[in-house]
Structure 1
Amino acid sequence: MYKVIDHTVQAQLITRPPATRPLSPSLRYDGDDPLAVRIVFPSDISLDGEEVIWAFSRDLLDAGLRGPAGEGDVHVWPCGLERTVVELHAGEGVAVLEFRSADLWGFLRCTYDVVSAGTETAHLDLDEGIAALLRGV
């Protein structure tokens, strides 16, 4: 069992017409799932009143802090020296969030203290993962 990191950060939801709405999502990392990071949005901002969690690759976050990265549902890119944009695509639309880059870098460094970069696969429990996939079959 590995440590779970949960950092609440400030972000801005970029809306149309160009406006912003402040948010306080959590950035979460669980060493038991070493390849992924999560952005957890509080229930008070979701359409259905439930907490919303977006999981994506830790490598994508790292790459997106350095330059444009991502394909599919999640895109990350630096916006100047102090801000980073995370774009989330869903069936309901697109959410564009702006974070302080320092907050994301600090979170990422903490995740590397739990599981070092490049060692993620050594921390995966493949037997448990396969068992979970086959449960109920």
Structure 2
Amino acid sequence: MSSVIEQAVQVRLVASAPRMESVPATLRYDRRDPFAVSMSFPAPATLEGTDVCWAFSRELLVQGVDLPAGLGDVRVRPYGYDRTVLEFHAPEGTAMVHIRTSEVRRFLKRSQGLVPAGREHLHLDLDADLAQLMRDAH
């Protein structure tokens, strides 16, 4: 069984203009980093013209599909019927995307199949992480 789940999704980019543009994105979960998920956007979908990847807590995504969650750089909240809004805050500005809640739930179910909630600590390799920190310190 693979230790990584990637799911291609279409999201709607909310802009200041009334129209919303549909762009590709990828949700990713790696059991080697069991508390985190990421959402990446290809270069053509970003203002900078480079690939952009946001990493955040899986628990934030779990909470945000039902209730507003997050206070920092990433915020998640339900929106209408079967939509979830993700807000990404950076010094350059804020990006907001709408994604189908059913897609988020499918992704979360797959990630829970790989590492059930509450069992993430069993997938941490603290010895390897500590060794890497020590190497980086020299």
Structure 2 residue aligned with 1:9: 9
**Distance (whole Å) between structure 2 residues aligned to residue 2 and residue 120 of structure 1:** 16
Superposed displacement of residue 99, structure 1: 0.3
Aligned-pair distance for 1:2? 5.3
Which residue identity is paired with 2:22? P
1:127 corresponds in structure 2 to: 127
TM-aligned CA deviation for residue 127 of structure 1:
1.2
Cα distance in 2, alignment partners of residues 51 and 29 from structure 1: 18
- Name the counterpart of 1:21: 21
How many pairs does the alignment contain?
137
Contact 1:78/1:85 (<8 A) preserved: yes
Contact 1:27 1:40 in 2 (8 A): yes
Name the counterpart of 1:116.
116
Distance 1:12 1:63, change over 3 A: same
Task: State the identity as a percent.
Answer: 45
How many angstroms does 1:62 deviate by?
Answer: 0.1
Paired position in structure 1 for 2:32:
32
Distance 1:105 1:29 in 2: 13
1:86 aligned partner, one-letter code = L
State the one-letter code of the partner of 1:130.
L
With normalisation by structure 1, the TM-score equals 0.94
Gaps of 5+ in 1: none
CA separation in 1, counterparts of 2:59 and 2:134? 28
Answer yes or no: is the 8 Å Cα contact 1:2–1:30 preserved in 2. Answer: no
For residues 58 and 70 of structure 1, the distance between their equivalents in structure 2, rounded to whole angstroms, comes to 12
Asked whether 1:136 is paired with 2:136, we answer yes
Q: CA deviation at 1:80?
A: 1.7
SS across alignment from 1:109: helix
Structure 2 partner of 1:61? 61
Q: CA deviation at 1:134?
A: 2.3
User: CA separation in 2, counterparts of 1:136 and 1:55?
Assistant: 22
Between the aligned partners of 2:87 and 2:35, the Cα distance in structure 1 is 19
Coordinate RMSD, CA, aligned: 1.4
